Amino acid sequence: MNMDMTKNKKGSMDEWPEPIVRVQSLAESNLSFLPDRYIKPASLRPNTTEDAPAATNIPIIDLEGLFSEEGSSDDVIMAHISEACREWGFFQVVNHGVKPELMDAARENWREFFHMPVNAKETYSNSPRTYEGYGSRLGVTKGASLDWSDYYFLHLLPHHLKDFNKWPSFPPTIREVIGEYGKELVNLSGRIMRVLSTNLGLKDDKFQDAFGGENIGACLRVNYYPKCPRPELALGLSPHSDPGGMTILLPDDQVFGLQVRKNDTWITVKPHPHAFIVNIGDQIQILSNATYKSVEHRVIVNSNKERVSLAFFYNPKSDIPIQPLQELVSAHNPPLYPPMTFDQYRLFIRTQGPQGKSHVESHISPRPR
């Protein structure tokens, strides 16, 4: 690569391809129309933006008793999780051990943050190089279609990436709440990872080891979806699968919005009170050699209610190669994916933006003939 190309490439990652417009600003200017950049082509528009979800819902799993001393109910819970990971890639968990007060505090602190004037938040404005901070787009393609949301992205782990200066300082309780929330979710993720390993007939720490043991990554993406003047033409977040290991989502307690792809329909998730929504990301699909599915999802918006959600991402250490586990492959069941580090892997969504499942589907090993 010659010097000029390096420079151009670097330049394109240090800044956005065009000035950033905050969706909050658009929403607050009471537009009666939707700006062109947010109008999706007909094939991507949501078929409905009604609040009432279909009767179908993703599985709800009660974790009460899991890993308890008695352990009597473990088999049933584990089988339920196993089926959810294979068939849905998504499930809700209740009795997960995280206090409801902490969940509400986390969501409401962030809601307060997003309610601050846009100007007060610009000091945290992010760039496509690290995505840390206050952002309003995913991907760096000039002229790309945009989603109806602002967000905040920060690192919780590893410790050397955790930087309080990149975390908001308002409201005054937010840093402490994020810290505590992060700790609890790292803990919960560790428990779920053990279930995922065991359910594949592996030692319970197998996935955790493959993720780099103690050195895993954890980050938080808080999504703010303002009211939208034409929700039937827009999306809050375009179809994508999560590039990381596993996601634990705290949805808004009042407003639906997340839709999960099941066969060829979009199912609107109806969150159970104080449940978390767990989903398999691309890295676990890869480790499991596609036994577990990283499933496409998207977010719809509406005209009379804003929505806030917290997506916690549990990721492999970013510089170790991730590939199907040796125990899960054989001559008859060859590895579907070549090794790739998460640092390399996530460049795709960071430059291209959300593109359905096209990344993991194109990340396939060449077949010997």
Bridge partner residues of 307 (DSSP): 225
Cβ 3 to Ni ion shortest distance, Å: 37
What token pair was written down for 261?
């792809």
Closer to Ni ion at the Cβ: 132 or 296? 296
Closer to ligand OGA at the Cβ: 221 or 261? 221
Interface with ligand OGA, residue 306, by CB under 6 A: no
Alpha helices, DSSP H, located in the chain: 3-14, 23-28, 74-87, 100-115, 118-121, 174-198, 206-210, 282-287, 342-345, 347-352, 358-362
Strand order in the sheet with 237-240: 237-240, 297-299, 258-262, 265-268
What token pair was written down for 93?
């968990």
Interface with ligand OGA, residue 223, by CB under 6 A: yes
Cβ 242 to Ni ion shortest distance, Å: 4
What token pair was written down for 113?
């943050």
Residue type, 352: Q
Residue 266 neighbours by CB under 8 Å, 6+ apart: 46, 47, 259, 260, 298
Cβ 235 to ligand OGA shortest distance, Å: 11
Residue choice 85, 98, 106, 258 for contact with ligand OGA (CB under 6 A):
258
Residues binding Ni ion: number (CB under 5 A):
1
Q: State the residue number with the nearest CB to Ni ion.
A: 242
Closer to ligand OGA at the Cβ: 77 or 220? 220
Closer to Ni ion at the Cβ: 242 or 252? 242
Interface with Ni ion, residue 282, by CB under 5 A: no
- Angstrom CA distances, 195 to 63, 188, 208, 343, stand at 11, 11, 11, 26
Residue choice 150, 242, 282, 306 for contact with ligand OGA (CB under 6 A):
242
Interface with Ni ion, residue 296, by CB under 5 A: no
Interface with ligand OGA, residue 249, by CB under 6 A: yes
Residues binding ligand OGA: number (CB under 6 A):
12
Closer to Ni ion at the Cβ: 212 or 243? 243
- The binder of 221, among Ni ion, ligand OGA, none, by C-beta within 5 to 8 A per type, is ligand OGA
- The binder of 354, among ligand OGA, Ni ion, none, by C-beta within 5 to 8 A per type, is none
- The binder of 309, among ligand OGA, Ni ion, none, by C-beta within 5 to 8 A per type, is ligand OGA
Residue choice 132, 242, 252, 306 for contact with Ni ion (CB under 5 A):
242
Closer to ligand OGA at the Cβ: 274 or 323? 274
Which range, of 12-20, 64-72, 182-190, 250-258, touches ligand OGA by CB under 6 A?
A: 250-258
- Range 195-203, long-range pairs (CB < 8 A, 24+ positions): 195/66, 195/77, 195/78, 195/81, 196/81, 196/85, 196/246, 196/284, 196/288, 196/292, 198/78, 199/78, 199/81, 199/82, 199/85, 200/288, 200/291, 200/327, 200/328, 201/327, 202/325, 202/327, 202/328
Cβ 125 to Ni ion shortest distance, Å: 22
Interface with Ni ion, residue 132, by CB under 5 A: no
CB atoms within 10 A of CB 353: 18
> Coil, helix or strand for 102?
helix
Is residue 123 a contact partner of residue 116, using CB atoms and an 8 Å limit?
A: no
Which range, of 21-29, 74-82, 86-94, 234-242, touches Ni ion by CB under 5 A?
A: 234-242
Q: What angle do CA 296, 299, 304 make, to 5 degrees?
A: 165
Which chain residues interact with Ni ion by CB under 5 A?
Answer: 242
Which chain residues interact with ligand OGA by CB under 6 A?
Answer: 221, 223, 237, 242, 249, 251, 257-258, 297, 299, 309, 311
